Amino acid sequence: MRPLPPNATIAVIGAGIVGTSVAFALMERGYRVTLFDRAEPGRTGPSFGNAGHVVGSGIFPLAEPGIGLTGLRMLMDPEGPLKIPASYLGKVTPWLWRFWRSSYGEAYERGIRALIGMNRGAVDDAEALWTRAGIGHMLRRAPALYLYESEASWMSVRSHWKRRIDEGFASHFVGEAAIRDLEPNLAPVFARGVISDDWGIVTDPFEVVTGLFRAGQQRGIAFREAAVTALVPEGEGVAVIIDGEHQSFDAALVAAGVWSRPLAAALDEKLPVEAECGYNITFPGRSGLINRPLVFGDRGVVATPLSPGLRVGGWTELGGTELPPNPARWRKMAEISSAVLPELTGADGAQWMGHRPSMPDSVPVISRSGRHPAVFYAVGHGHYGLSQSAKTAKMIAELVAEATDERYSAYSIGRFAD
């Protein structure tokens, strides 16, 4: 593979947190970048309303040993954090099959190693990129507090914490009394806690995308608001197709979140990215109720003190991108919010649902296309797109400018070619 010379033109499709970050890093390398989005940058995808955590210690794939049984139990539980509408089961089965195959043995271990490679140093990477973009103040280093309600739930995750510690992620165990001192507004239901140091939070995820986008524009990145319908190889370069009109570039990057799949399919490339819906509620003026990011281990839910308010959310619904939000999920989320933070009982909040772009092995595709050397992908960051965005930007800039394909083979799209 040949490195792309500086001054070459690059189209970046998708202006969520991943596309805006990569566009900025490519611009810094001297490329002439045009960013395309069908809507206002950061407005329509999960980059808008995520929980705002920058997670260094997130090293476990979603599919883990025993997921078949755990997943079934979650599906049967009407209050469980995993949902698949019956009508979507057929469509999502090939993805679930790959998901299950990633959950054990060497494949599972490979997933952990790839996630360690992505997430270690996430806060430092974000701080470095965002400081260069003039938005470093939007990040705060903030160790997270994981919470467990029973001895049984704690026992079920003990091996995870051991692995994190073995891998060098600082983790401190706390008991009931310490939890009350750290977070006096929590309901007194938490038996065990762990503080994970490798963590940060942002002021507001949408503000971060907007900040990166504006910083890029000021330094010469062009923006076009349009839905890209296809990428077509054109000699050594690539054409971006919009409503039949075509615009030529030396290279293109697909960073359109879960909507990347049809763009890859048009290039005859397998990209099994699936929409994993998450729900949250943001309670304005209530951020002061907690002192740090919280992870409720038994509920599949996190809480973050953000500038728009206290955000409580999470969960997984595999229903594709067309499924409308289910109001019952927000009702349940409001119930959980007041169960863990009684002062939220009866509080009004803004409801939001977003589509995480999730790969079956929980590892993003950060890769050159296997079909055409001038096409690249930065897709499938699942639960960690905000956390991994700065590292992704660095990796794509290296792939394009230095052709470091071998170094990043763990993230290659080629792993789905079978």
Q: Which residue has the tokens 């390398």?
A: 29
Residues 30-49 interacting with ligand FAD (rule: CB under 6 A): 36-39, 44-47
Q: Which is nearer to ligand FAD, 103 or 316 (CB)?
A: 316
| DSSP helix/strand/coil, 381 | strand
* Shortest CB 67 distance to ligand FAD, Å: 20
| E strands in 118-236 | 139-141, 144-148, 171-175, 192-196, 199-202, 222-225, 230-234
How far is it, in rounded angstroms, from Cα 394 to Cα 378?
11
* 370 lies in the site for ligand FAD, by CB under 6 A: no
Stretch that binds ligand FAD, among 130-138, 243-251, 252-260, 403-411 (CB under 6 A): 252-260
| All residues at 6 or more sequence positions from 203 whose CB lies less than 8 Å from its CB, including other chains | 52, 137, 138, 140, 306, 307
* 386 lies in the site for ligand FAD, by CB under 6 A: yes
Number of neighbouring beta carbons within 10 Å of residue 120: 19
| E strands in 227-373 | 230-234, 237-242, 245-249, 251-254, 274-283, 294-296, 301-306, 309-317, 350-358, 365-368
Q: Which is nearer to ligand FAD, 105 or 284 (CB)?
A: 284
* 317 lies in the site for ligand FAD, by CB under 6 A: no
Run of H or E including 36: strand 32-37
Among 57, 103, 367, 387, binds ligand FAD (CB under 6 A): 387
Q: Which is nearer to ligand FAD, 17 or 123 (CB)?
A: 17
* 50 lies in the site for ligand FAD, by CB under 6 A: yes
Number of neighbouring beta carbons within 10 Å of residue 328: 11
* 16 lies in the site for ligand FAD, by CB under 6 A: yes
* 313 lies in the site for ligand FAD, by CB under 6 A: yes
* Shortest CB 304 distance to ligand FAD, Å: 7
How far is it, in rounded angstroms, from Cα 191 to Cα 176?
5
* 311 lies in the site for ligand FAD, by CB under 6 A: no
* 67 lies in the site for ligand FAD, by CB under 6 A: no
* Shortest CB 152 distance to ligand FAD, Å: 26
How far is it, in rounded angstroms, from Cα 59 to Cα 51?
18
Q: Which is nearer to ligand FAD, 108 or 377 (CB)?
A: 377
Binding residues for ligand FAD, rule CB under 6 A, total 39
* Shortest CB 55 distance to ligand FAD, Å: 6
Q: Answer for the pair 183, 290: CB distance below 8 angstroms, yes or no.
A: yes
How far is it, in rounded angstroms, from Cα 418 to Cα 279?
33
Residues 215-244 interacting with ligand FAD (rule: CB under 6 A): 227-228
Q: Answer for the pair 368, 376: CB distance below 8 angstroms, yes or no.
A: yes
* 83 lies in the site for ligand FAD, by CB under 6 A: no
Q: Which residue has the tokens 């079909």?
A: 371
* Shortest CB 58 distance to ligand FAD, Å: 8
Q: Which residue has the tokens 């995520």?
A: 50
- The contact pattern for ligand FAD, residues 256-295, with x = CB under 6 A and - = no contact, is xx-x------------------x-x---------------
- Sites of contact with ligand FAD (CB under 6 A): 13-19, 36-39, 44-47, 50-53, 55, 227-228, 255-257, 259, 278, 280, 313, 354, 356-357, 381-387
